Copies of this chain bind each other. A is one copy, B any other.
Amino acid sequence: MAENPKSTSNDEPVTAAMVIIGNEILSGRTQDANLAYAATRLNDFGIQMAEVRVIPDVEDTIIKTVNELREKFHYVFTTGGIGPTHDDITAESIAKAFGVPIAIDPMARALLEEHYGVDNLTEARLRMARVPEGAVLIDNPLSRAPGFQIGNVLVMAGVPIVMKSMIDSVAPRLIGGKPVLSRTVTALVRESDIAVGLENVQDKYSSVEIGSYPFFRKNMVGSNLVMRGTDADVLEQVVEDLKVLIRDLGAEPLDEPPV
């Protein structure tokens, strides 16, 4: 777990929303691969994913969604729609959401010139150097065309390997709170048999959020009990309580689901 020197001093959680822009995710053709990585990585820096929206490449929808979410959460991350083709409308839409002009950024242009060669920097490629006025570039070590941050909105590529490199480059400079720690205890016990005891444990620990996730595998039925909180010692106490509960039900607590 990386330590974040810019952590907020109080215990209020720092929250983020993610906006996945892309018809190909909505249609079911492509499985999103960005949310799980972004949520996990941001949590390392004390930023909790609080809401995610998947929306189409439609300007009005992008504008409304981003403007609503940037009021509600500390950060908004968008993925997708910053390439060179006609369906890449994210940068323009974000500029409109903020009510600022969009223009070629000299540094972004220089990065693309270096990557493609000055003579090969076509009109289409130059589109990728357009950022809203006032935006700060987000480095893309992989294919150079940068993302950008304007206000609390961070605009990233949709291609998973590029998105990952952008998140990795930008996350350390964001201001976060305490990372949420999680522990999991698994039991070959039906959720409905452990429900009452589980609620009692939850009532005892208000700072920990306990989730129960059933699984069905071959002929086994079981529950993954997931605890989330910011205090490792308290989480350990909850783990011990749950192990007692599981043994009381005649089962043995496991560290992970059986394969």
Residue numbers of A with Cβ under 8 A of B are 20, 22-32, 35-40, 43, 48-57, 61, 83-88, 116, 122-125, 127-128, 142-143, 158-159, 161, 180, 182, 191-196, 198-199, 202, 209-216, 226, 228
Contact yes or no, B191 A83, CB < 8 A: yes
What's the minimum C-beta distance from A6 to chain B, rounded to whole angstroms? Answer: 21
Q: Is the CB of A36 within 8 A of B31?
A: yes
B216–A159 touching, CB < 8 Å: yes
Kindly list chain B residues whose C-beta atoms are within 8 Å of the C-beta of A161. 216
A167: min CB distance to chain B, Å: 11
With A and B bound together, what is the CA distance between A86 and B34 in angstroms?
30
Q: Given A36-B31, A53-B51, A86-B199, does the pair A192, B124 have CB atoms closer than 8 Å?
A: yes
What are 18 A-B residue pairs whose CB atoms fall within 8 Å in the complex?
A23-B209, A26-B49, A27-B40, A31-B35, A32-B32, A32-B35, A53-B53, A86-B198, A86-B202, A87-B210, A122-B196, A124-B191, A124-B195, A124-B196, A128-B192, A143-B216, A159-B216, A161-B216
Looking at chain A's contact residues, the main secondary structure is mixed
In the complex, are the beta carbons of B43 and A51 less than 8 A apart? Answer: no
